[in-house]
């Protein structure tokens, strides 16, 4: 067991982990931050995306020890200070960008990373950026629409209905 | 004007807030104090005789609590099948046993041989590697047609052959069918494959079993679409436990698409092992394990023949299908190629003579069962492909050919056992033609051609049957369950309402849509109504959610229970208002006496029900009602879809450029949610048509067991979809006039995509009749250059 320390959603945390413990397991099993989901074994589905030092990272593909000393953000830390939904979360609700909710944390974290580096992405740019996030429920229509809306674009007139 | 609340409003989903903030409660998020973890050692051989399973080394490994093998389950029931199909000679289907852990033989890659329970998952996995398994490998039975031959290796040694049943529906007189085809002016024939798929809800399956010694009570937390069905099957057929001692909880469930209907061995194992180990036992499937153990879908090989007269009227249809059931009978597997497939072969057309033949096969592959649409996509694909091929052969417009043969008079009795209550197929096609701007297709094709691409337009229709019922009829057809549903409406003293429903929401938005109905009926705010589901200890009973049944069946039960509540509340209101019950009207949450200004509010009546001081003596206190609802018939959603693709002639790459759906779902409660259901179904249908394929090699090795090898549709594989639900013929036999929308997109879209690809190739001068799904670049390129 090795001690690992990091900042998660602004709070300092530490724990004893095995060398093989994944960041996703550390978040879920040690910190009880179960909003980060694990949907595959091969870093394909993106349900586990979190932010590590501001970058979108698949937490199932990173060892907890590798995250030692980093600043980690998870879905639990995304809401506004008053607890209300942030702009991206609100856009997902407004545009029905989620159904079963399982891929949703990863989608929201990926969308946040996208909009940070590209504040006004085109439809094609959004679709390309989400290639590492699988959703089985929505057919992606309303996810793409929600991200366009979160970026301040008129999603309704862009997406055919 | 769109409504802003109640029936017909696009109310935002209340469940979204917890999912968007990481506060959902999925089964893997549940940890029970003191829990141990199970790892299943699964066969890596498709077919073999188990000579020995030596667990002695594993038992001594660190953290190991107990190691189980098939021997531990001798005398325990196996996994049951919920539908007995009778073959065309009157014999019951062959029904082999399906043990919780393999006994005697392994029959597919992934078949569980042993289970290690340990303090941690890592310890369980390490110990499983120390189990010494000796298997005599046998010839794997993979190809369905070969499996049907006399002398084929048997998947189950005790069965007479690998054919589960040889089933027929429709015209039984072969000579009559032959005569129709002999006299036809034109016959179109097509051989096709409905590719094997894996449902792949993003949440893998999980089970947590718990046993309380003091009270002899079990709790199973599981990723299920129907917790009561799991409890009934597990208690009555597998473990022999009293139902009242078993609680099954299906909390937030991350998608189902059919594959979480079924009772799985892992659920029974965790429940059994919790008592045997005297500790809670948790299992979380990995994705690769899911590919090897979740029931698969589709996997039909068919020949379809359509006979037309000289005026292009459909006069006869004959199909011969081989359906793969895999190694064992999954819970509802036997019903899928039969009553959920053969009955849909009439489609939207008035073909007078139809004969459907289905041979269902055991093979050394993962069991196959219902996946979104379940039998109906297989029927629609065959029918809509052969109609399209006929149009091309005859040189007629594919829409005109369909319109000419549409059923237009309702109710309509099909030659394959169904009665369509209502529909307007021409009206729906009109909606499609406008919504898809079919008039503008020629210009779009010219633009694509200017860019060096071939553009094709694919059209198809579909009809589906939802809310399978009534129970007495499905019982005659072999169902071993009733197909009703139940709801309890519990009004609290202060007027808020909890509705306990048998339907289970795993993405469908019941928590939002169902309250819209109850609130609308009473005239109160939606926020005063809450839906409770997914826990056998909280809800009366329920058959769960599948087959697009939730609103049509459970929603109807909810309406009936709410009507009872309103009726009783009116009696109380009549007492308070000193009026006759017959004069009491309920509107906007106010009970009033007709023709007067006397009224009493909903909340005052509900409070009176629980504080019955000024109260009618003949009425019981309290305000809570339950209703069970067994539908009179299926519902029949129908639609017409249009797909436009571009094909790159250099590479064979297909790109879906435009997809439009026109559906008739009857009345609609929440249009936003309905649109979302259709989007998701189309996404899965495009996945089937272009990308997804569950592949086995000739030895039964599963080649597509991860997302590296199984091509799930991603955001850049699909376009924005156009959806139009303005064609509405309400269902005639349920109180809301609703039909069901969950599966339509997945049923209607695959043939539209394939028809579009073939239209593109033919427009480019390539006379290609058919390409099997998935229509991959290599298959398209080969078809163009073959």
Question: Where exactly are the structural domains of chain B?
Answer: 27-138+202-255+260-293, 296-469+633-785, 484-629
Q: Is the pLDDT of residue B732 over 70?
A: yes
CB-CB neighbors (< 8 A) of B253 in chain A: 100
Looking at chain B, which residue has its C-alpha nearest residue A40? Answer: B287
pLDDT tier at B242 (50, 70, 90 boundaries)?
A: very high
* Residue found by looking up tokens 């999980």 in the block: B206
Mean pLDDT of chain B: 97
Label residue A155 by pLDDT band (50, 70, 90): confident
The verdict on a CB contact (< 8 Å) between B16 and A98 is yes
Closest CA to A59 of A50, A67, A70, A68: A50
Do residues A88 and A82 make contact, with C-beta atoms less than 8 angstroms apart? no
H or E stretch including A88?
helix A87-94
Of B24, B254, B708, the CB nearest to A42: B708
Give one DSSP letter per residue of B265-311, joined into a string: HHHHHHHHHHHHHTS-EEEE--HHHHHHHS-EE--EEEEEEEEE-TT
Contact B22 A75 (CB under 8 A): yes
Q: What is the C-alpha to C-alpha distance for residues B561 and B222, in angstroms, rounded to an integer?
A: 28
Give residue B257's region: left, alpha or beta (phi > 0; psi -120 to 50): left
pLDDT at A159: 61
Which residues in chain A have Cβ-Cβ distances shorter than 8 Å to B681?
139
Which tens digits make up the pLDDT trace of B274-283? 999 999 999 9
Residue A158 confidence (pLDDT): 66
Cα–Cα distance for residue pair B256/B229, rounded to 1 Å = 15
Tell whether the model's pLDDT for residue B3 goes beyond 90: no
Interface contact flag, A102 B202, Cβ < 8 Å: yes
pLDDT band at B223 (very low <50, low <70, confident <90, very high): very high
Query: From the DSSP assignment, how many helices (H) and strands (E) are in chain B?
Result: 19, 30
Q: What mean pLDDT comes out for the span B647-659? A: 97
CATH class of B296-469+633-785: alpha beta
How many residues are there in chain B?
786
Partner residue facing A79 (CB), from B21, B257, B712:
B21
Task: Report helix, strand or coil for B360.
Answer: strand
Does the pLDDT at position B729 exceed 60? yes
Mean pLDDT of B367-387: 98
Residues of B in contact with A33 (CB under 8 A): 22
Q: For A134, which residue in chain B has the nearest alpha carbon? A: B714
Q: Which of A35, A42, A142 sits opposite B22 (nearest CB)?
A: A35
Min distance A5 CA to chain B CA atoms (Å): 22
Instruction: Determine whether B469 is exposed, middle or buried from the number of CB atoms within 10 Å of its CB (0-12, 13-18, 19+).
Output: buried
- Minimal Cα–Cα distance from A51 to chain B, Å? 14
Contacts of A144 in chain B (CB under 8 A): 715, 720
Closest chain A residue to the Cα of B673, Cα to Cα: A96
Cα–Cα distance for residue pair B334/B325, rounded to 1 Å: 8
Q: Which residues pair with B641 in a beta bridge?
A: B460, B661
Where b means 16+ CB within 10 Å and e means fewer, B528-543 reads bbbbebbbbeebbbbb
Q: How many CB atoms lie within 10 A of CB B617?
A: 6
Band the pLDDT of B469: cuts 50, 70, 90: confident
Contacts of B716 in chain A (CB under 8 A): 124, 127-128, 130-131
What tens digit of pLDDT does each residue of B588-634 get? 999 999 999 999 999 999 999 999 999 999 999 999 999 999 999 99
Instruction: Give the residue-averaged pLDDT of A112-122.
Output: 97
| Distance in Å, alpha carbon of A7 to nearest chain B alpha carbon | 18
Mean pLDDT of B538-559: 95
Q: Indicate yes or no: CB of B122 within 8 angstroms of CB of A40.
A: no
Residue B552 has pLDDT above 80, yes or no: yes
Q: What is the pLDDT of residue B4?
A: 86
Q: Which residues of B touch A37 (CB under 8 A)?
A: 26, 28, 202-203, 254
Going by their DSSP bridges, the two strands A49-52 and B296-297 should be labelled as unpaired
List the single best residue of B11, B16, B659 to mutate versus A (max A Cβ within 10 A): B16
Closest CA to B393 of B770, B772, B784: B770
Contact B661, B639 (CB under 8 A): yes
pLDDT at B314: 98
Mean pLDDT of B314-337: 98
* Closest chain A CA to residue B723: A161
The pTM score is 0.97
Question: What confidence category does residue B334 fall into, taking pLDDT thresholds of 50, 70 and 90?
Answer: very high
pLDDT at A17 over 80: yes
Residues from chain A that touch B707, judged by Cβ atoms under 8 A, are: 40, 42, 44-45, 134
CB contact under 8 Å between A76 and B22, yes or no, is yes
Tell me if B296-469+633-785 shares its fold with B484-629: yes
- Tens digit of each residue's pLDDT (9 = 90 or more) over B499-536: 999 999 999 999 999 999 999 999 999 999 999 999 99
Q: What is the pLDDT of residues B18-59, one digit of tens each?
A: 999 999 999 999 999 999 999 999 999 999 999 999 999 999
Q: Which residues of A touch B17 (CB under 8 A)?
A: 85, 93
Contact B507 A101 (CB under 8 A): yes
pLDDT higher than 70, residue B485: yes
Neighbours of B243 (CB within 10 A): 14
Residue of B nearest to A20 (CA): B122
Identify any residues that bridge with B592 across adjacent strands, giving them in sequence order: B585, B599
Give the nearest partner residue to A39 out of B202, B658, B723, using CB atoms: B202
Report all structural domains of chain A as residue ranges with CATH numbers, in order of start.
2-76 (3.10.20.30), 87-156 (1.10.150.120)
Per the structure block, which two tokens stand in for A128?
């390309």
Tell me whether residues B287 and A93 touch, CB distance under 8 A. no
Q: Is the pLDDT of residue B1 over 80?
A: no
The CA-based diameter of chain A, rounded to the nearest angstrom, is 55
Instruction: Return the closest-CA partner of residue B389 out of B243, B187, B248.
Output: B187
Answer yes or no: do A33 and B718 touch at CB < 8 A: no
C-alpha distance from residue B507 to each of B201, B257, B480 (Å): 10, 10, 27
Residue B544, pLDDT above cutoff 90: yes
Partner residue opposite A45 with nearest CB, options B28, B707, B723: B707
Question: Residues of B with CB below 8 A from A101's CB?
Answer: 15-16, 18-20, 24, 252, 254, 507
Residues of A with Cβ-Cβ distance to B204 under 8 angstroms: 39
Q: For residue B16, give the nearest of A93, A158, A160 by CB distance.
A: A93
In A, minimum Cα distance to B686 occurs at A139
Domain B27-138+202-255+260-293 falls in which CATH fold?
Aldehyde Oxidoreductase; domain 3 (3.90.1170)
Q: Does ipTM top 0.85?
A: yes
Interface test with A, best of B20, B32, B688 (most A CBs within 10 A): B20
Distances (CA, A) of B629 to B75, B505, B649: 37, 18, 55
Do B731 and B665 meet the contact criterion of CB atoms below 8 Å apart?
no
Beta bridge partners of B323: B300, B360
| CB within 8 Å: A140 and B286 | no
B305: pLDDT confidence band, cut at 50, 70 and 90? Answer: very high
Q: State the nearest Cα–Cα gap between A77 and chain B, in angstroms.
A: 8
Across the interface, whether the CB atoms of A101 and B16 are under 8 A apart is answered: yes
Which of helix, strand or coil describes residue B548? coil
B276 - beta bridge partners? Answer: none
**Interface A-B: count of C-beta contacts within 8 A:** 193
- Selecting from B28, B29, B680 the residue whose C-beta is nearest the C-beta of A137 gives B680
Q: What percent of chain B has pLDDT over 70?
A: 100
Min Cα distance B676 → chain A (Å) is 6
Q: Using the predicted structure, report yes or no on whether residue B208 has a pLDDT greater than 70.
A: yes
Asked if A101 lies within 8 A of B718 by C-beta distance, the reply is no
**Residue B83: phi, psi to the nearest 5?**
-150, 115
Which residues of chain A does B24 touch, with a Cβ-Cβ cutoff of 8 Å?
Answer: 34-35, 101-102
- A39, A134 Cβ separation under 8 angstroms: yes
B178-205 burial, b if ≥16 CB within 10 A, otherwise e? eebbeebeebbebebbbbbbbbbbbbbb
Contact A161 B723 (CB under 8 A): yes
Q: Taking residues B463-484, report their average pLDDT.
A: 90
Task: Give the nearest partner residue to A47 out of B20, B202, B715, using CB atoms.
Answer: B202
Structurally, what CATH architecture does the domain formed by B484-629 represent?
2-Layer Sandwich (3.30)
What is the pLDDT at residue B219? 98
Q: Nearest by CB to A41, from B16, B254, B706: name it.
A: B706
């Amino acid at each position: 067991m090795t001690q690992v320390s990091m900042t998660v959603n602004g709070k300092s945390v530490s724990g004893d982990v095995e060398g093989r413990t994944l960041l996703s397991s550390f978040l879920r099993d040690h910190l009880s931050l179960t909003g980060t989901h694990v949907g595959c074994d091969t870093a394909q589905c993106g349900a586990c995306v979190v932010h590590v030092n501001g970058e979108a990272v698949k937490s199932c593909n990173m060892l907890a020890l590798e995250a030692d000393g980093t600043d980690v953000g998870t879905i639990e830390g995304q809401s506004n200070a008053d607890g209300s939904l942030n702009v991206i979360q609100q856009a997902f609700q407004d545009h029905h960008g989620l159904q079963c909710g399982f891929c949703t944390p990863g989608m929201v974290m990926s969308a946040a990373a996208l909009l940070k580096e590209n504040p006004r992405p085109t439809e094609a740019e959004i679709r390309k950026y989400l290639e590492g996030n699988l959703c089985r429920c929505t057919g992606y229509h309303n996810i793409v629409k929600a991200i366009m809306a979160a970026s301040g674009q008129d999603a309704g007139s862009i997406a055919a209905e | 004007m769109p409504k802003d609340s109640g029936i017909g409003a696009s109310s935002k989903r209340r469940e979204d807030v917890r999912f968007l903030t990481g506060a959902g409660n999925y089964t893997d998020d549940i940890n029970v104090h003191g829990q141990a973890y199970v790892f299943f050692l699964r066969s890596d051989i498709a077919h073999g005789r188990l000579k020995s399973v030596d667990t002695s080394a594993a038992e001594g490994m660190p953290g190991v609590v107990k190691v189980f093998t098939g021997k531990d389950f001798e005398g325990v029931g196996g996994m049951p099948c919920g539908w007995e199909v009778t073959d065309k000679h009157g014999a019951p289907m062959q029904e082999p046993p399906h043990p919780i852990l393999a006994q005697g033989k392994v029959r597919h890659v992934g078949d569980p041989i042993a289970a290690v329970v340990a303090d941690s998952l890592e310890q369980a996995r390490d110990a499983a590697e120390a189990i010494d398994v000796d298997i005599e490998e046998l010839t794997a039975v993979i190809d369905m047609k070969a499996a049907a031959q006399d002398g084929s290796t048997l998947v189950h040694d005790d069965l007479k052959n690998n054919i589960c049943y040889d089933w027929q529906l429709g015209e039984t007189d072969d000579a009559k069918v032959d005569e129709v085809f002999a006299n036809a002016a034109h016959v179109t024939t097509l051989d096709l494959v409905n590719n094997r798929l894996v449902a792949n809800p993003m949440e893998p399956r999980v089970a947590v079993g718990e046993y309380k010694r003091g009270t002899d009570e079990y709790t199973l937390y599981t990723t299920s679409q129907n917790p009561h069905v799991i409890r009934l099957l597990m208690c009555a057929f597998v473990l022999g436990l009293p139902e009242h001692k078993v609680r099954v909880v299906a909390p937030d469930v991350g998608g189902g698409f059919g594959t979480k209907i079924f009772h799985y061995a892992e659920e029974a194992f965790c429940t059994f092992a919790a008592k045997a180990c005297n500790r809670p036992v948790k299992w979380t499937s990995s994705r690769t394990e899911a590919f090897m153990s979740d029931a698969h879908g589709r996997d039909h090989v068919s020949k379809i023949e359509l006979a037309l007269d000289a005026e292009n009227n459909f006069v006869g249809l004959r199909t011969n299908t081989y359906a793969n059931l895999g190694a064992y009978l999954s819970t509802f597997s036997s019903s899928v190629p039969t009553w959920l497939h053969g009955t849909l072969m009439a489609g939207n057309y008035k073909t007078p003579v139809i004969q459907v033949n289905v041979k269902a096969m055991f093979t050394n592959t993962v069991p196959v069962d219902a996946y979104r649409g379940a039998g109906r996509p297989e029927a629609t694909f065959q029918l809509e492909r052969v109609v399209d091929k006929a149009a091309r052969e005859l040189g007629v417009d594919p829409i005109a050919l369909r319109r000419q043969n549409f059923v237009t008079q309702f109710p309509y009795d099909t030659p394959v056992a169904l009665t369509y209550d209502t529909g307007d197929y021409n009206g729906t096609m009109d909606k499609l033609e406008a919504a898809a701007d079919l008039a503008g297709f020629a210009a779009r094709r010219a633009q694509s051609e200017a860019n060096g691409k071939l553009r094709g337009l694919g059209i198809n229709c579909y009809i589906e049957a939802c809310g399978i019922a009534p129970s007495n009829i499905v019982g005659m057809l072999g169902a071993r369950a009733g197909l009703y549903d139940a709801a309890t409406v519990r009004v609290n003293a202060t007027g808020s309402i909890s509705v306990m429903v048998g339907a289970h929401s795993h993405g469908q938005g019941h928590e939002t849509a169902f309250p819209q109905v109850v609130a609308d009926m009473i005239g109160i705010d939606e926020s005063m109504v809450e839906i409770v589901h997914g826990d056998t200890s909280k809800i009366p009973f329920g058959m769960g959610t599948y087959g697009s049944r939730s609103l049509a069946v459970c929603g109807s039960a909810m309406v009936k229970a709410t009507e009872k509540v309103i009726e009783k509340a009116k009696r109380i209101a009549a007492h308070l208002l000193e009026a006759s019950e017959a004069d009491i009207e309920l509107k906007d949450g106010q009970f009033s006496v007709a023709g007067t200004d006397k009224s009493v509010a909903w909340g005052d009546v509900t409070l009176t029900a629980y504080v019955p001081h000024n109260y009618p003596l003949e009425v019981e206190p309290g305000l809570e009602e339950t209703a069970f609802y067994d539908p009179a018939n299926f519902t029949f959603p129908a639609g017409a879809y249009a797909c436009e693709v571009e094909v790159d002639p250099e590479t064979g790459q297909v790109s879906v450029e435009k997809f439009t759906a026109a559906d008739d779902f009857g009345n609609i409660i929440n249009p936003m949610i309905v649109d979302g259901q259709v989007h998701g179904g189309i996404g899965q249908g495009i996945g089937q048509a272009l990308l997804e394929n569950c592949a086995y090699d000739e030895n039964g090795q599963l080649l597509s067991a991860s997302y590296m090898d199984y091509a799930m549709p991603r955001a850049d594989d699909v376009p924005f979809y156009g959806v139009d639900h303005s064609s509405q013929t309400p269902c005639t036999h349920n109180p809301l006039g609703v039909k069901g929308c969950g599966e339509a997109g997945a049923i209607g879209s695959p043939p539209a995509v394939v028809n579009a690809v073939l239209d593109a190739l033919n427009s480019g001068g390539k006379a290609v009749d058919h390409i099997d799904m998935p229509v991959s670049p290599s298959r398209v390129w080969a078809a163009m250059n073959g």
